[in-house]
Chains A and B, each alone.
Chain A
Amino acid sequence: MELFDQISGCLTDEGLQALADGQLDELSRLEAAEHLAFCDACLDRYTALLAGPVIVQPPQDLQKPVWQRIRSQMFRVLTNRYATAAAAVAIAFCLWGSGLFQGLVPTPDAQLTPALQLQQTEQTQQTLEHRLAFNEAARSASRSLSSLFDSVSDGISKAVTSPRLTNNPKE
């Protein structure tokens, strides 16, 4: 029995039938699977054979285990995303706490000296007011982040230094 046609390189009819009848050894089944994985014509001929009594139902219904696997896959993807976001926030806190961003938010004195204000036109004055508002907002955010960082740092240090809580009452 020839599994493949020597001219076309495709699976023969008798080869496909032998596959369906379970008469192929392991290497031949591997070669057939490799061919069916890319050849549309042979896949069409093979699926045409799979009809009626040839179809074997799985020992256990696939619906429940497949949905379980889909749910666990989606959970893994979601948790990976949240873990990445949490890591990014933690890094941002660390960098903020190290004072790396201090120079990025200018102080009001450096930005709006009285001499500078006198030289501004009305338009410039409006622009300056916007910048002032932006600076104020940035400083406010900075203060909030700093206090949040301090409280998180305090919380972590307390958690580390406090006695460990266990379910074992003897400890």
Chain B
Amino acid sequence: MNSTEFSRLMQQYQGLVYTVCFQLVRDPDTAQDLAQETFLAAWIHLERCPPGCEKQWLARIAANKAKDHLKSAYQRRVNLPGDEGMPELPAPGAPPGPPGPEDEVLSSLGYSDLAALVHELREPYLKVSELFFLQERTVEEIALALRRPAKTVRTQLYRARHILQEQIQRKEHGNHGTL
């Protein structure tokens, strides 16, 4: 694809790309910037575009750009580890690293209590948590089984762990309140 054809592609799909970015980030300036980044990435990786699938391909790049933006904004606000710089989750059975407070809380639960909490989770955290916390599968095995990227599985597991910890704390406070 030459520069004229790429200009035509941009003309045709700039509305779509901007709409995807805007619907995901809900800010016009950020969406404008992410739409530009989408076309820049598309130009750099033009040879990866499946012929006839330009619309889906551009929408996927736009969703990825929006995801990266939302993830960094969310991590800054919530202060929850994300993909980058995030410590690797230990594989079940592997020697664990120094336990954090969340690990202590989770490991103090019996299997049935933990299973009950996990089954209360909603998607996209339910299946990854069942496989990781209850069936002790590795991140790579879960990624393969659920057809999700390993990075996404790790991120979902970290958020799931955070949600589980909040549930435990809520229940503990509830118990103390009733005493």
Contacts and interface: CB of A to CB of B under 8 A. Distances in A.
The yes or no verdict on A and B being binding partners is yes
Query: Chain A interface residue count: which class?
Result: 35 or more
Contacts, number: 122
Interface string A1-36: 011111001000000000110100011011111111
Given A33-B63, A66-B39, A70-B40, A27 B74 contact: yes
Interface string B53-83: 0011001100110110011011000000000
B123 A56 contact: no
Interface residues of B, number: 48
Question: How would you classify the secondary structure of chain B's contact residues: helix, strand, loop or mixed?
Answer: helix
Contacts of A62: 10, 14, 17-18, 32, 35-36, 39
A63 B7 contact: yes
A27 B32 CA distance: 21
Contacts of B23: 19-20, 22, 29
Contacts of A38: 147-149, 152
Given A30-B71, A58-B14, A62-B18, A6 B43 contact: no
A61 interface: yes
B124 A34 contact: yes
Closest 3 CB pairs of A and B: A4-B123, A33-B67, A58-B18
Interface of A: 2-6, 9, 19-20, 22, 26-27, 29-38, 40, 43-44, 46-47, 50, 54-63, 65-67, 69-70, 73
